[in-house]
């Protein structure tokens, strides 16, 4: 009797693009993919920060390079990505938060969040998918959203709107690009200890709200995201597309 074998989690021969890779979840995703054997192109606006991460990754035997990229500058982003060889893997972790009560939201903050979190994510995902279609290759594309793409949150009307939007186009693109064997999913974390989440977690009242909602009674660490990134990038998730992997400690369980 031939026993089934677990599909490989290894990513040798794969090219990965990680947007927002200079810190936080994006940095962790880049390291996870590098550890699994992928060649990782780390992208963000700050080239100095990227170069520092790439230097550390290569010292540890990973294959990595830096690409200065502003996801919100759609026309330039499309040119920059289209000039590269196609990417087998995308992790879009570029994101912005401007938390206010809805009655206090101004147009500047609304546009800043939407332009990066939703508009930028949409066109980056589409651009990478178009490259795969042109090359006739399969791929796995991931958008880092949030549990706030599934539930509401205090002072987060704009942020929730952007992340609900990403969840929506992720599903629609999964349907569109599925016949080309291009899988598109989202990863939706709870509060993770990163520079982006620091303001909320430093406020005692808001931190208590967070800890009361997370059933595992702790905030997340970037390491909690790394295994999910490797899984969705690999053949181990070959039949998974159009879904959202919630890494929320049980926040959305009730």
Residue 130: active-site member = no
Compute CA 197 distance to the chain's CA centroid, rounded to the nearest angstrom.
Answer: 15
Helix (H) or strand (E) holding 43: strand 39-44
User: What is the length of the chain?
Assistant: 254
Residue 108: active-site member = no
Joined tokens for residue 20: 């927002």
**Catalytic pick among 159, 171, 208, 215:** 159
Whole-Å CA distances, 53 to 56, 58, 76, 167: 5, 9, 24, 29
How far apart are alpha carbons 187 and 247 in whole angstroms?
7
Q: How many CB atoms lie within 10 A of CB 134?
A: 10
Torsion, CA 102, CA 107, CA 109, CA 113, rounded to 10: 90
Which alpha helices (DSSP H) does the chain contain, by range? Answer: 24-35, 47-59, 74-82, 107-113, 121-135, 157-177, 198-202, 204-213, 223-233
How far apart are alpha carbons 151 and 247 in whole angstroms?
13
**Catalytic pick among 76, 163, 206, 208:** 163
Catalytic residue positions? 159, 163
């Amino acid at each position: 009797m031939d026993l089934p074998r677990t599909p490989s989690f290894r990513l040798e021969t794969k090219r990965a693009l990680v947007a927002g890779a200079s810190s936080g979840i994006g940095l962790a995703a880049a390291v996870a993919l590098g550890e699994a054997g992928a060649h990782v192109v780390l992208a963000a606006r700050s080239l100095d920060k990227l170069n520092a991460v790439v230097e550390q990754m290569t010292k540890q035997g990973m294959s990595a390079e830096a690409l200065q990229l502003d996801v919100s500058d759609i026309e330039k982003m499309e040119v920059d990505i289209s000039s590269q060889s196609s990417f087998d893997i995308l992790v879009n972790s570029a994101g912005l938060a401007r938390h206010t009560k809805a009655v206090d939201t101004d147009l500047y903050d609304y546009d800043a969040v939407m332009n990066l979190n939703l508009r930028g994510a949409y066109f980056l995902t589409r651009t990478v998918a178009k490259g795969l279609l042109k090359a006739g290759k399969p791929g796995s594309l991931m958008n880092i959203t949030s549990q706030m793409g599934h539930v509401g949150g205090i002072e987060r009307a704009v942020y929730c709107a952007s992340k609900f939007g990403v969840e929506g186009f992720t599903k629609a693109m999964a349907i569109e690009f599925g016949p080309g064997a291009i899988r598109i999913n989202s990863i939706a974390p709870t509060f993770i200890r990163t520079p982006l989440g620091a303001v909320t977690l430093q406020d005692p009242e808001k931190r208590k709200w967070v800890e009361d909602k997370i059933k595992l009674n702790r905030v997340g660490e970037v390491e909690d995201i790394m295994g999910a990134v490797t899984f969705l990038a690999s053949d181990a998730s070959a039949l998974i597309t159009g879904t959202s992997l919630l890494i929320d400690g049980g926040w959305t369980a009730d």
